[in-house]
Amino acid sequence: DIQMLKDLAALVELEIQNSQNALEMAYEAMVPEYSENSVLILNAQNQIEWTNSQFQTLTQFTKDEFIGKAFAELLRMCKVSAKQIKTIEQNLQDNQTFKLELTGKLKHQSQAMWVEMSFRPIFDASERRKQYIVIAHETTERKQAELDLAKERQRLSYILEG
């Protein structure tokens, strides 16, 4: 009886692993690894279910550090403001499609970075949200250029006025 239970447990574990591998392969088929965009898939509880390798490069975190964790927890790890996190959580709770630009810091970095993120809910046949697909694109260079341009405009304004 004990051996039969062990064998059954091993079969269940193998089936779970095969299901996870199949899910991973399906996601990878949908999201090209060569994409310059970072892609996350959140489950119904807003936990990170999957990311492409570009997301790992962008955030400098490994899959083990964020898979299964709440998305808000990852945002806190990236030093995103509480106000921005609250806005995201509210939109996720309301099943909204939305887009916003976040600012934060990655581990081992002292400079801020900007990331534009688009969120799209995925619903099942019963119209219940089962996932969110999140596409992220780093916009730090563009944002820094905008800030530099604004400073230069202000400097020129002072020169012309004074």
pLDDT in tens, 73-128: 989 988 899 999 999 999 999 999 999 999 888 766 777 889 999 999 999 889 99
Distance CA 14, CA 109 (A): 40
Q: Which two tokens stand for residue 15?
A: 């089936």
The pLDDT > 90 percentage for the chain reads: 37
DSSP letter (8 states) at residue 106: -
Distance CA 81, CA 25 (A): 34
From 19-23, 38-42, 113-117, the region with the lowest mean pLDDT: 19-23
* Residue that wins the pLDDT comparison between 125 and 4: 125
Which pLDDT value is given to residue 128? 92
In angstroms, the Cα distances linking 54 to 33, 34, 60, 108, 121 are 7, 8, 10, 18, 21
pLDDT at 42 over 60: yes
